[in-house]
Chain A
């Protein structure tokens, strides 16, 4: 007798055709997972290798940024902004300060504008290098990661010389910068840029025509331009959708109007184009830094207005006015006039916007940060639904979500 279930059947009820009652398999990625970076938990429901549903859970790195800022003076918010996007902290510093300066109606000195451009663009290269390196590493290209980290280390050293810290830069003050560039720094930056450029060319050679890399990234992680706008994409991710919005061009700030650079645009809306945008932007940032170093004007780097900026130390120690200004600024904080402002700068991942509300008390009443990664990450679930599980990794990498700014 044939085993149970294998008796001969009529043609239309073949047991091999019966439904096994397949259930989706629930896979948990994160908050700490070797193939992702950042503390995000992805709950993925799989049907075979296809993603049926993906729930993105954030908040593991939530540190109460807004609440902390509401309880300290304006200047004391600055170290908190380092910890938002910890891959390009100077952009957060300068972005926040620009918004405060706009609220207070302060115009910063020319030299400070140029140094802000240099610092921001150094960190843009840094951020793009890290994003590219992480993308390559997480889909198997460890060599690229090592090249990129070597170049990144050079930038880190320049940043350390400029600001005094590797990650938590806290560079810049309301009304300019806390110190000028160190002696001999210009030449070091130029040499670093040469090294970074050759490393970027290496990475370009290793990835851009690499069969394996292209198979993983071309056509994956697609989101249509309409949806991208709808979700609030900005920066490289939006420019990979064929929409060339760059705040440095659209609403120029600091010294950008005087410098010559292009905004690269790609049209495929996929992971590969997001990678290519980042490679192109590194070369543009390289151009910007070289121009800014060449054109760097002389003069002070901090405004001479003691209501907002600390007086020089010798004045504090030798005059009563200086001592009082110093005391009031440290104890009460800069008195930013009551009002509100929304100001945005172009950070490495897109529009970094600040809505600031002041009640005139020396402390922020409300600090809202519009983190570019927040809006982009909210679209991740839509980008991967119905796609393969292996596409989730490059998609998560190329949108370059930074836990610090998304989770505040």
Chain B
């Protein structure tokens, strides 16, 4: 399972792969250096055939035995020809949680990166539109961080001054143009 692909990656981009390991079910993972993430994703897509963007997420390791650096950003790609997944990880510091954006390589990362920013507060450098995806802009904090309380309530926010109401002005509405 994705061993061959990782072998090829290691031969072509030896400095990119920091560590390789197997999980309990025998699947192969690789930890990638942050600087070489984008070239590696592009190589995997264009040369190795991992063209299907599966998913992306992050893990906050705060409560795990090994928690430095604090975050892991996960990338899952899939190759239809080889019928295998590529499971990649990037380790991210708490002090500077910034990862280069992969939206140039995979358009599917546009929303996935917004959701990671929303939930974990990891910024993606070069993302064209890094707004929150699920929550609203006034929300404070990032709820999937382990130090965000389970019942962390936020105050109601006032109505935004400029929004869709512009679409409802003019004839038939009580708002002037």
Contact = CB atoms under 8 A, between A and B. Distances in A.
Contact of A342 (B52, B60, B76, B119): B76
A47 interface: no
Interface in A69-107: 70-71, 102-103, 105
A341 B107 contact: no
Given A103-B24, A339-B23, A365 B108 contact: no
A267 interface: no
A230 B106 CA distance: 5
Interface stretch (B9-17, B79-87, B91-99, B153-161): B79-87
Given A230-B108, A232-B108, A339-B23, A375 B53 contact: yes
Interface in A358-372: 359, 365-366, 368, 370
Given A229-B53, A245-B52, A378 B59 contact: no
Interface string B55-70: 1010110011000000
A248 to B, nearest CB: 13
B111 A374 contact: yes
B54 interface: yes
B55 A340 contact: no
A355 interface: yes
How extensive is the interface on chain A, given as a class?
35 or more
A26 B24 CA distance: 52
Contacts of A315: none
A382 B106 CA distance: 14
Interface of B: 23-25, 27, 51-55, 57, 59-60, 63-64, 74, 76, 80, 83, 85, 87, 106-108, 110-112, 119, 132-136, 143-144, 148, 150, 164, 166-168
22 contacts: A27-B167, A59-B133, A59-B136, A62-B135, A70-B144, A103-B24, A230-B51, A230-B106, A231-B108, A232-B53, A234-B52, A250-B83, A341-B23, A341-B24, A341-B27, A353-B54, A355-B76, A365-B64, A368-B55, A374-B111, A378-B108, A407-B134
In the complex, the 3 A-B pairs of residues with the closest C-beta atoms, listed nearest first: A378-B111, A232-B108, A370-B55
